[in-house]
Amino acid sequence: MRALPVLVAVVLAWECYARLSGIPPQILPAPSRIAVQAWLQREVLWQNTLPTIRATCLGFAFSTALAFLLSVLLDFARPLRRALLPVFVISQTLPLVAIAPLVVLWFGFGLTPKILLVALVTFFPMLLALIEGYDSTEPEIEALLHSMGASRAKVFRLARLPSALPFFFNGLRISITYAVVAAIFAEYAGAVQGLGIFILNAKNNFRPDLVLAAVGISSALTLTLFGLTRAVQRIVMPWGR
């Protein structure tokens, strides 16, 4: 909430500068112009926002499920962890700019390449957070469970998994800030509809105001998802800490 006055100040300064400097709106549109144009184009914007939301959510759900399953596998099979983790690190070094068009080339203009690209970008932080979370389990709690005769699977379910939750939500928050951007970039590389393709068209038509309107929507989406993770965390971790 303390960020709000800063944001308002930045927008106001921008508005004044755009109006007083004489720079044409085709180069630097004022915030007021962006808002008006966004409102006029609201139907087209909305039509293009929906596919982006779909790609983001499906890609992210796929990525979360995959990260969870793999983290469990790697927790139970230590040698596999040493073999696979470097591969996942390499997956994070791939430049999205180069990979995105290729993935579109391989999987077409449909939903699949978007889901894959969102997953590629968001998967690793969550996997790493989960693995570190499992390892953060208090040794005394594990010793206690062993003394009670708990099996490895029970120790995982009763201690390692809940210990990993705070780490998981941190990873989730980091990942989710990349998710919308990744979806837009995937659309940019090739799509029929979506914010990415909308931005591409607006840029080609010399409409920076519409580009920025789409950027604003993208930020709003990310912030909403970010807030949602907090809400979910509060429900899943009622003990608070």
Residues that bind another protein (CB under 8 A): 138, 140-141, 143-150, 154, 158-159, 162, 165, 237, 239-241
Three-state DSSP at 187 gives: helix
Consecutive H or E run containing 35:
helix 31-40
How far apart are alpha carbons 206 and 224 in whole angstroms? 29
Q: Which is nearer to another protein, 44 or 237 (CB)?
A: 237
Q: Which is nearer to another protein, 46 or 138 (CB)?
A: 138
CB of 134 to another protein, least distance (A): 14
Q: Which is nearer to another protein, 38 or 144 (CB)?
A: 144
CB of 167 to another protein, least distance (A): 13
CB of 133 to another protein, least distance (A): 12
Q: Which is nearer to another protein, 16 or 236 (CB)?
A: 236
CB of 235 to another protein, least distance (A): 13
Q: Which of 178, 191, 211 is nearest to 51 (CA)?
A: 191
Q: Which is nearer to another protein, 62 or 68 (CB)?
A: 68
How far apart are alpha carbons 84 and 81 in whole angstroms? 5
Query: Could you tell me if 173 and 165 are in contact, meaning their C-beta atoms sit under 8 angstroms apart?
Result: no
CB of 140 to another protein, least distance (A): 4
- The DSSP string of 85-121 is HHHHHHHTTS-HHHHHHHHHHHH-SSHHHHHHHHHHH
Tokens of 96: 């999205």
